[in-house]
Copies of this chain bind each other. A is one copy, B any other.
Amino acid sequence: MELLKERILRDGRAAEGGVLKVDSFLNHQIDISLLQEIGKEFRRRFPQPEINKILTIEASGIGIAAIAAQYFGNADVVFAKKTRSKNLDGELYTAPVRSYTRGEMFEVQVARRYLTPGDHVLVIDDFLAHGQALKGLMEIIRQSGAHLVGCGIVIEKGFQSGGRQLREQGVNLQSLAIVDSISDGVVSFREEA
């Protein structure tokens, strides 16, 4: 997605350890006009009319999923939680996730009543690196019996293994920008994305 790549080159900041900061437009301050274009692009890549639910994970995924849902006939958004919350009661689906950035394990959690075998689910998130969060969400979808239509990612770190692993498993993974390297502050993209 050219608009996104241009924005990453203009406003992203490459930091040590393969970190790409996009907090000026994606995951701290949010550019709503850009999110609208991202939502339209996800719809273009996932035209399946049966999609009725978008699953994401707190926190940065929520705004992206909410804006995108408008281009999916206002599909319901469900955001998985990372901590036990008083907002969650009743039966839960849970899956363990390793956070590489925080160096710890946590659990993703979704109330069972919001994912059912009749649902056709698109998973959306801001970043894909090792793919741990995405695998947790997919495990929850598997437990629920819902149908996974695909995964839409805003920025994939192509130099980490999550995307390759998921594609090898046959997941319909669509990343709007794939960063193949961050070297000396220079971001390089994979051509096809």
Task: Report if A133 contacts B (CB, 8 A).
Answer: no
- In A47-84, which residues have CB < 8 Å from any B CB? 58-60, 62-63, 65-67, 69-70, 74-79, 81
**Minimum CB–CB distance for A35 against chain B, Å:** 7
Residues of B close to A69: CB separation below 8 A: 30, 32
**Minimum CB–CB distance for A86 against chain B, Å:** 5
- Binary flags per residue of A97-108, CB closer than 8 Å to B gives 1, else 0: 000010000000
Task: Report if A193 contacts B (CB, 8 A).
Answer: no
Task: Report the separation of the CA atoms of residues A88 and B72 in the bound assembly, to the nearest whole angstrom.
Answer: 31
- In A21-40, which residues have CB < 8 Å from any B CB? 21, 23-24, 27-33, 35-36
Task: Report the separation of the CA atoms of residues A81 and B147 in the bound assembly, to the nearest whole angstrom.
Answer: 33
Task: Report the separation of the CA atoms of residues A19 and B87 in the bound assembly, to the nearest whole angstrom.
Answer: 9
User: Among A28, A31, A88, which residue has the most Cβ atoms of chain B within 10 A?
Assistant: A28
Chain B residue at minimal CB-CB distance from A35: B66
Known: A66-B32, A70-B32. A114 touches B76 (CB 8 A): no
Residues of B close to A65: CB separation below 8 A: 63
Residues of B close to A29: CB separation below 8 A: 76-78, 111, 114
Task: Report if A89 contacts B (CB, 8 A).
Answer: yes
Residues of B close to A77: CB separation below 8 A: 29-30, 32, 63
Residues of B close to A88: CB separation below 8 A: 23, 28
Q: Are A30 and B76 in contact (CB under 8 A)?
A: yes
B15, B31, B78, B110: the one within 8 Å of A30 (CB): B78
Chain B residue at minimal CB-CB distance from A111: B28
B21, B67, B76, B101: the one within 8 Å of A66 (CB): B67
Q: Are A78 and B32 in contact (CB under 8 A)?
A: no
7 nearest interchain CB pairs? A58-B59, A63-B66, A30-B77, A32-B74, A62-B62, A59-B59, A29-B114
